[in-house]
Amino acid sequence: MSNKRIFYACQSLAIYKSDMTNPIEVHGLQSVGITTTFNLEQVFEIGQLAIYENIETVPDIEVTTEKVLDGYPPIFLLATKEGAGPTLIQRSKAKCSAMLSIYKDTSEQASGVGQHQVLLSGLFPTSVGYTMPAEGNATESVTLAGYHKFWGGEALSVSNFGTDAPKTGVQRREDFLMATSLLPTEIRGINAQGGNITAEEGGGFKAKITNINVNCDLGREALFELGKRTPYHRYVSFPVEVTAEFTTIGLSGDLVDADGDATSNISNQTIDLKMADGLRLNLGEKNKLQSVGYSGGDAGGDNVEITYNYQTFNDFTVTHPHPDVAASGMPH
Q: Let me know if 239 is exposed, middle or buried by CB neighbors in 10 A (0-12, 13-18, 19+).
A: exposed
Single pTM value for the model: 0.94
For 84, 91, 161, 173, 322, the CA distances from 95, given in Å and listed in that order, are 12, 9, 26, 32, 20
pLDDT tens-digit profile of 177-214? 999 999 999 999 999 999 998 876 666 899 999 999 99
Task: Tell me the pairing of strands 272-274 and 96-102.
Answer: unpaired
Amino acid 159: pLDDT: 47
Q: E-strand spans in the chain?
A: 11-17, 24-25, 29-37, 40-45, 48-56, 60-68, 96-102, 116-133, 139-146, 148-151, 209-217, 221-223, 233-235, 241-249, 272-274, 280-282, 288-296, 304-313, 317-319
Amino acid 192: pLDDT: 93
Helix or strand or coil: residue 328?
helix
Q: From 199, 166, 180, select the one nearest 67 (Cα to Cα).
A: 166
Q: Count CA within 13 A, CB hemisphere, residue 32.
A: 23
For 11, 189, 245, 297, the CA distances from 310, given in Å and listed in that order, are 38, 17, 6, 24
| CB of 140 closer than 8 Å to CB of 75 | yes
For the chain, the structural domain boundaries read 8-328
Amino acid 160: pLDDT: 59
For 23, 47, 60, 97, 212, the CA distances from 19, given in Å and listed in that order, are 10, 49, 20, 8, 36
Amino acid 2: pLDDT: 86
Q: Show the low-confidence residues of the chain (pLDDT under 70).
A: 1, 153-160, 162, 200-203, 327-332
